[in-house]
Structure 1
Amino acid sequence: MSYIKYLTLMVLLSNPIQKLAAQQATVEVLEMNLPDFSYAGYNFGEGDLPSMEAFPVFKVEDYGAVANDNLSDTEAIQAAINAASVKGGIVLFGSGRYLLNEEAGNATGLMVEADNVVLRGTGDGPGGTELFMKWHLEPADPAKIYSTPAMIQFRAPHDSEPLPRLAKDAKEGTEVLTFSAPVNLRPGDFIRIAAVGTFLNEPLLEGKKTREIWSRINERGAAAEELHQVKSADGHTLTLIAPITMDLSADDPWEISKLSLLQNCGFEKIHFRGNFQEDFVHHLDAIHDSGFSGISMSRTFNSWVKEVSFSDVSAAANFSGSLCGTIVRCAVKGNGGHSSFGFHTSTRSLMAYCEDQANAWHGPNASHRSVGSVIFRFEGINRGIDLHGDFPRNTLFDQCVMAGFDGDSVGRASHGANYKNLPNHMGGLVFWNFTQTARPRPDFDFWELYEGHPEKLYGPLTAINPVIVGYRGEGTSFVQESVGEMHSWGIPVQPASLFIFQKTQRGKKIPAYLSQ
């Protein structure tokens, strides 16, 4: 069933008398207090993903990999990656099945640690390329069941160089930072702006009261982080390509540093198949939580996972510590595991046209100080969205068709985060033309603190003053006091996509990969 037909069917079923599919409302977007999400995705939302035609091709067969021969291809694939890493290139797979991690007990997978390296297959469907991971990897720390690395890792080194303190306050929306001493940076360099402390609680909580058991925000304070690329540098002044997303006071302990990011890497047109066959049990062990994880992009810029399907995995793909990461037209299938797709401690990430057909425990995720994330037209048979705490901000769910917020129940929530790291989301959470297909909740309260039930560690998903526009979900309603703004209940709105609207308002061309 196509997306449009499915969307129309859901609306008709939710209210056949009024025939809501034939109705639309128009909202004045520019009159709302909304974050600017238009910078999300590759190259700050401008231009298509690169074809890499200028780079050489390294066929894995030339390094000893043979599809469908029932022999391990891991060493041969790593050799092809190493060759491509010298000056960049496409690691090309033919059709058929290639075998990964054929021996038990390994703690590392395939590694990409150079710019401009793309792993590309012939397609993720029948007759395409399949990478089969027979055995799970071992956790990096046996005491931490979530610490197992992904089978294929793209990562930059942990290089960081502190910059001078700010000399002037910088307001949200500006691209200019002024420092107390000259900064030795060039156009194209990357910086990290970060802080942790109780001084962030007041601006980020927007007047909300916290629970006593939320120890992280109460004792250490909230946290904020965002990554940027330098447009120009002149003495004490930096100009950034994209605006900052919150006010920065020169009197507060902001830490600004130069960092290294892996650039222009991709994983595309491949079916990644794990071997996770058990009925998933949340936090049972390292195998269930992370043993069969597919792809991780760590400390990357302008990198992507495109047209990839994942089957029988603990986790599919995620970006961490990254800027302008893109996951597009990917799907999770087969046996449902721990999670599907996510962004952690990342800035201006985009997930577009992705699907969960496996009923992963955690749905699409933006967490751990991620900011400016966009989940665009996600479809899922899942337990609902995942906002995994640790202070994410400014997340857009745009035209998504999926379950709601609560997981199986309040007691077995799947929206993520240890109670110590709550709330799930700070300000800037937006639901735009969202269609909830399962797990209805009447009188849903985005700030239910369970003050009368201290023994209950978890409640519904907690978010500060979310904006809800064009929401459809039979059986669900929201406590008005817990919502920032709410418009056009049960009726889709125009513009149909906030993300696309904001891009056109900025005068930017819509990339081809965002078209139907």
Structure 2
Amino acid sequence: MKRSMLIFPLLCMAIVGKSQQISPLWTDFVTAKQQGTTPILPDFSYAGYHWSEKELPSLTGKKVFKVADYGAIPNDELFDDASIQKAVDAAEANPGGGIVFFEPGKYLVAPDGDAKKQIRISKSGIILKGSGSGTAGTEIYQANMRIHGRQFLFQPEVVSGKKLTTIVADAGRETFAVNVQDASKLKVGQDVVIRHRSEEFTRLYFAPLDLRPQWSRLFGDKGGMQIYEIHTIAKIAGNQVVFKNPVHLDIKLVKSGTWDIESYNSLSECGIEDLRFSSNWKNYPEEFVHHKNEIHDYAYEAVGMEYLKDSWIRNCEFHDLNEGVFIRSGYRMTIENTHFRGKKGHASIHARAGYGVLVKNCSFNGAQHHGAGTGYSAVGTVITNCSLGVDQNIDIHSGQPYATLYDNVEGGVFYNLGGPEPGYPHHGKELVLWNFQHKSVKDQHYDFWDSSRRRNYTIALPILVGFTADKVVTFDHTGINESQGKRVLPASLFEAQLQLRLKGIDLAKAK
């Protein structure tokens, strides 16, 4: 928790690269996995489509529904919302779903300002697929602002879960089993949610860090950080339930609230591919100002993906938008090779609640105030091998997400994190910045638990490994700050953890 200073600029990285050292935290992780003990680092490998155990699907053999066959003709200056919805409805009526296909050209959506009108996908197996995200491909253009209205919304008809049982014993972080009161309503292969909320547990979790009274959502009979961890049941033995994926925090029973297991309702195998989303935001006569008003933050929003499992976005672009992709309660999702461009807006990719959302090989280019980020109970979010613009903010949007990984990310800064003050702290424990390359026009100082300033940083003891920057950067209240100024091995923590889990290969030592 002592202050540390970065004095090695990125210009030294070529020299440092030849003498990169294996991170001691990585060694601890490998040893813990071999010996069955608890590692310091979370296991972030349980992220992405089917936990990254499968490649994204090829779509070979899926039935195709061309939007043109339902009246959506590109480049005709007519609005295509109704025709696209008809194509989606036809795909949903087909057993196994299908591909809703857009031929090259520009399609207009949002003929009015009614934010309640959306193109809805409410069945599994629906893929929106264009003819490429480049200039000769498919563009979906939102003509009118619809404040707080995402133009394409994936969401099941029923999202609320039902209580199934209660956890009756403590369980450690990075373990896989819990003991429950009654397992009769559970079955192997079932997806469930661990839920808890209490002020009592919240104070235990953050101790000895101080909690400010202004963070009002943490306090009272109905207060506390909201725990929402999604898991898949691998085994049931009596009243012990074993999950396929690890629990990412210490479960501690308290008097003031129960730890419940609920059902998780979701769509699966849904995707978006080879499309460019854009909007009329580029012609609005003001440049973006963060939180100036609802127009600046929420006028043009492209995609909502809520309660989706084993779903994805790949090979897409988002241009001139206030918000690109909003994910709520996503489980085992991948966003890859997707890029954000154009007039600056508010948010690019935001994953809240959910478990194991993977953002991989994407670029953000300063096109939104926030690069990819997380908030509000999200667990195990991974942003890896991505690039942000100089002084582009990462997005940790309060609501106490935990166990988040920014991995081999180039660019980005940590000031002006989002979210309302009643929802602070911004982040719980185990925010890991691994080989993060900070880029700013000025020197920066970060106090990661500065409870005295309204717009500052409240992140519980983050873990920094191999942090580098092009300016002088100093810190207070880090949990661990290892090898500052020098990149470490493995280059990508996510890839190394994945290969260790799937193949037993230690990438830090592999030649």
Normalising to structure 2: TM-score of the pair? 0.88
Say whether residues 1:129 and 2:132 are aligned partners. Answer: no
Matching residue of 1:273:
278
What is the CA deviation profile of residues 459-484 of structure 1, one whole-angstrom value per residue up to 9, with x for unaligned ones? 2x22111111111113333335x111
CA deviation after TM superposition for structure 1 residue 509, in Å: 9.4
> What fraction of aligned residue pairs are identical, expressed as a percent?
28
Unaligned runs of 5+ in 2: 1-6, 30-39, 506-511
Number of residue pairs matched by the alignment: 477
CA deviation after TM superposition for structure 1 residue 322, in Å: 1.4
1:79 to 55, 62, 86: 86
Matching residue of 1:513:
none
CA deviation after TM superposition for structure 1 residue 18, in Å: 9.0
Q: Supply the RMSD in Å over aligned alpha carbons.
A: 2.2
CA deviation after TM superposition for structure 1 residue 313, in Å: 0.6
CA deviation after TM superposition for structure 1 residue 101, in Å: 1.4
Q: In structure 2, do the counterparts of structure 1 residues 18 and 47 end up closer, same or farther at CA, with 3 Å as the change threshold?
A: closer
Matching residue of 1:389:
398
CA distance in 1: counterparts of 2:233 and 2:62, whole angstroms? 26
CA distance in 1: counterparts of 2:409 and 2:175, whole angstroms? 30
Greater relative contact order, per chain length (Cα 8 Å cut-off, separation 6+): 2
CA deviation after TM superposition for structure 1 residue 161, in Å: 1.4
Partner secondary structure for residue 75 of structure 1:
helix
Partner secondary structure for residue 132 of structure 2:
coil
2:418 to 416, 419, 428: 416
What is the CA deviation profile of residues 344-380 of structure 1, one whole-angstrom value per residue up to 9, with x for unaligned ones? 0121110011111243122221110101110001211
Kept after mapping to 1: 8 A contact 2:9/2:471: no
Q: In structure 2, do the counterparts of structure 1 residues 509 and 23 end up closer, same or farther at CA, with 3 Å as the change threshold?
A: closer
CA distance in 2: counterparts of 1:49 and 1:397, whole angstroms? 22
2:435 to 408, 413, 433: 433
Q: In structure 2, do the counterparts of structure 1 residues 358 and 182 end up closer, same or farther at CA, with 3 Å as the change threshold?
A: closer
Partner secondary structure for residue 238 of structure 1:
strand
Whichever residue aligns with residue 71 of structure 1, its letter is L
Q: In structure 2, do the counterparts of structure 1 residues 34 and 206 end up closer, same or farther at CA, with 3 Å as the change threshold?
A: farther
Kept after mapping to 2: 8 A contact 1:363/1:386: yes
Matching residue of 1:405:
414
Say whether residues 1:68 and 2:64 are aligned partners. Answer: no
Say whether residues 1:205 and 2:206 are aligned partners. Answer: yes
Whichever residue aligns with residue 466 of structure 2, its letter is G
CA distance in 2: counterparts of 1:329 and 1:472, whole angstroms? 24
CA deviation after TM superposition for structure 1 residue 404, in Å: 1.3
Say whether residues 1:457 and 2:454 are aligned partners. Answer: yes
Which segment is superposed worse, 176-185 or 326-335? 176-185
Kept after mapping to 1: 8 A contact 2:440/2:471: no
Q: In structure 2, do the counterparts of structure 1 residues 13 and 176 end up closer, same or farther at CA, with 3 Å as the change threshold?
A: closer
Q: In structure 2, do the counterparts of structure 1 residues 105 and 223 end up closer, same or farther at CA, with 3 Å as the change threshold?
A: closer
Which segment is superposed worse, 199-208 or 60-69? 199-208
CA deviation after TM superposition for structure 1 residue 391, in Å: 0.7
Say whether residues 1:34 and 2:37 are aligned partners. Answer: no
Whichever residue aligns with residue 248 of structure 2, its letter is T
CA deviation after TM superposition for structure 1 residue 234, in Å: 5.7
CA distance in 1: counterparts of 2:92 and 2:318, whole angstroms? 25
Matching residue of 1:152:
152
Say whether residues 1:224 and 2:227 are aligned partners. Answer: yes
Kept after mapping to 1: 8 A contact 2:201/2:252: no
Matching residue of 1:256:
261
Partner secondary structure for residue 85 of structure 1:
helix
What is the CA deviation profile of residues 52-97 of structure 1, one whole-angstrom value per residue up to 9, with x for unaligned ones? 3242111111111111111111111100100111221111111111
Matching residue of 2:112:
103
CA distance in 1: counterparts of 2:291 and 2:237, whole angstroms? 50
CA distance in 2: counterparts of 1:164 and 1:13, whole angstroms? 53
Kept after mapping to 2: 8 A contact 1:404/1:439: no
Partner secondary structure for residue 229 of structure 2:
strand
- Please show how residues 324-363 of structure 1 align to structure 2 within 5 Å: 324-363=332-371
Matching residue of 1:471:
467
Whichever residue aligns with residue 420 of structure 2, its letter is N
Q: In structure 2, do the counterparts of structure 1 residues 281 and 501 end up closer, same or farther at CA, with 3 Å as the change threshold?
A: same
Kept after mapping to 2: 8 A contact 1:344/1:366: yes
Matching residue of 2:482:
487
Q: In structure 2, do the counterparts of structure 1 residues 391 and 13 end up closer, same or farther at CA, with 3 Å as the change threshold?
A: closer
CA distance in 2: counterparts of 1:439 and 1:207, whole angstroms? 35
CA distance in 1: counterparts of 2:393 and 2:250, whole angstroms? 32
Which segment is superposed worse, 99-108 or 297-306? 99-108
Instruction: List, as ranges, runs of 4+ consecutive aligned residues in structure 1 with deviation greater than 6 Å.
Output: none
Kept after mapping to 1: 8 A contact 2:191/2:232: yes
CA distance in 1: counterparts of 2:106 and 2:13, whole angstroms? 51
CA distance in 2: counterparts of 1:27 and 1:487, whole angstroms? 8
What is the CA deviation profile of residues 208-267 of structure 1, one whole-angstrom value per residue up to 9, with x for unaligned ones? 112232222244222221111223446644332212222324555112211211111001
